[in-house]
């Protein structure tokens, strides 16, 4: 389970999508929740996303090394979209748009 913690969630000044994503990721996490942005790490979900980028390559490599599918909540603004085709089988990427859908 992973959550994009990049500043792009706050573009336009609306926090509804970020609040929705944060809640959905917390509810769906059965074990640790990974935070992805400038790096991949565990930790407390921040009140406001602050990473300058969303780099999926390290997250996908981590999922591949464990042999587990990946579930990611993101706003869809990623710095390396070319990494997406290599996600493990069974993975799910949920893009939450500005309306929170």
pLDDT confidence of residue 97: 84
Query: Which of residues 88 and 12 earns the better pLDDT score?
Result: 88
Task: Please provide the average confidence, as pLDDT, over all residues in the chain.
Answer: 93
For residues 9, 60, 24 and 17, what is the CA-based torsion angle, rounded to 10 degrees? 10
Query: Rounded distance, CA 79 to CA 4, Å?
Result: 12
Q: Which three-class secondary structure state does DSSP give residue 61?
A: helix
pLDDT confidence of residue 20: 95
The sheet with strand 34-36 has its strands ordered as: 40-42, 34-36, 2-4, 71-74, 92-95
pLDDT tens digits along 5-28? 999 999 888 899 999 999 999 999
The number of angstroms, rounded, from the C-alpha of 80 to the middle of its chain's C-alpha atoms is 13
pLDDT confidence of residue 100: 52
pLDDT confidence of residue 66: 93
Instruction: State the DSSP code for 32.
Output: -
pLDDT confidence of residue 77: 95
């Amino acid at each position: 389970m992973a959550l994009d913690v990049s500043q792009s969630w706050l573009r336009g000044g609306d926090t509804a999508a970020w609040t929705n994503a944060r809640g959905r990721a917390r509810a769906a996490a059965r074990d640790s929740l990974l935070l992805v942005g400038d790096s991949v790490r565990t930790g407390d979900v921040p009140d406001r996303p602050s990473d300058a980028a969303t780099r999926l390559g390290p997250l996908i490599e981590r999922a591949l090394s464990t042999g587990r599918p990946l579930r990611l909540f993101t706003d869809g603004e990623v710095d390396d979209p070319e990494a997406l085709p290599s996600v493990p089988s069974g993975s799910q990427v949920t893009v939450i748009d500005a309306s929170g859908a």
